[in-house]
Amino acid sequence: MTKNKPKVIVTRKLPDVIETRMMELFDVTLNLDDTPMTKAELTEAVQTADVLVPTLTDRIDARLLAQAGDNLRLIANYGTGVDHIDLASARQRGITVTNTPDVLTEDTADMTMALILAVPRRLAEGAMNVRSDDWKGWSPTWMLGHRIHGKRLGIIGMGRIGSAVARRAKGFGLSVHYHNRHRVHPELEQELEATYWESLDQMLSRVDIVSVNCPHTPATFHLLSGRRLKLLQPQAYVVNTSRGEVIDEVALTKLLQSGDIAGAGLDVFEHEPAVNPKLLELDNVLLLPHMGSATFEGRIDMGDKVLVNIKTFADGHKPPDRVIGEAF
């Protein structure tokens, strides 16, 4: 790697201010038309780059990394989640992987809380009704939803985002419950007034709203399986702003169709950008295009993290956001 000007290849369009800074600091190749790279283009990128800057739309698997050139020593991921990168293969080849933690916490928690509010109160249905000119005026029994104050929220994954969701939920009068691989520090638990459930099954059977905030790892794939989803009460709602693979989407769709689950707010999907067409037919589901972290501030902060990681690595130091392993 050339110390002063490492060759950096970016796979997607980034905010202008970040791209400008990259051009000043590095020998950079940008993706100005913002179309996802093909397999052939990704292969060429890993063969020629010192640093690859991918996003969640790029599959950096073992087969791709096996074709990487000797110069590729850093994958500076533009995003927090790294489930699209084969970390074991990267380590085996001596490639450092970094991500952009912390900067998306508040934005994602905001979106999670928005869905927790919107789905029980049927906001999407109401908005569509007004736009369709079907609204005939106020009625005491029409478009009734459910209040969230006093309900039980079950958070799966009490990391940074899960804790931020809990703080918001507490302010809305929700009772906070959580399942995590490890119990959080007692001081945090006390601050959030959160009840820990070692058994996910037991928590699911007792909460009114489930919020998925854990990362996608082999251990969390279909964590909300068909069996576990059936433990939910018929009045329960499911909200997911994490990764679609954590939920068995086919099973969830069937339970929503049958009314065994009251509704869902989904910002992510198991096979995105493909969306199960049966989900699109349901009125009790609010579907968003993976926009939980989509703020101007968040995207620029992500870019700043990428810049720091690359510059630190190019200067011969350990970048601050090295990915050591995923926790849930």
Beta bridge partners of 152: 175
Q: Which of 19, 44, 125, 272 is an active site residue?
A: 272
DSSP structural state of residue 283: T
- Identify whether 290 is a catalytic site residue: yes
Token readout for 319 is 């970048």
AA identity, residue 284: N
- Identify whether 121 is a catalytic site residue: no
Residue for token pair 């959160």: 194
Residue for token pair 């969230």: 148
Between CA 8 and CA 17, with CA 11 as vertex, the angle to 5 degrees is 70
Query: What is the maximum span of the chain, computed from C-alpha positions, in angstroms?
Result: 70
Angstrom distance (rounded) from CA 7 to CA 19: 14
Angstrom distance (rounded) from CA 30 to CA 50: 14
Residue 131: Cβ-neighbour burial (10 angstroms; 0-12, 13-18, 19+)? exposed
Angstrom distance (rounded) from CA 55 to CA 57: 5
CB burial readout 280-301, b (16+ within 10 A) else e: eeeebbbebebebbebeebbbb
Q: Which of 59, 146, 290, 322 is an active site residue?
A: 290
Q: Count CB-CB contacts under 10 A for residue 61.
A: 13
Beta bridge partners of 179: 156
Assess contact for 226 and 214: CB atoms under 8 A.
no
AA identity, residue 276: N
- Identify whether 12 is a catalytic site residue: no
Q: Which of 243, 245, 249, 299 is an active site residue?
A: 243
Residue for token pair 């450092």: 96
Catalytic residues: 243, 272, 290
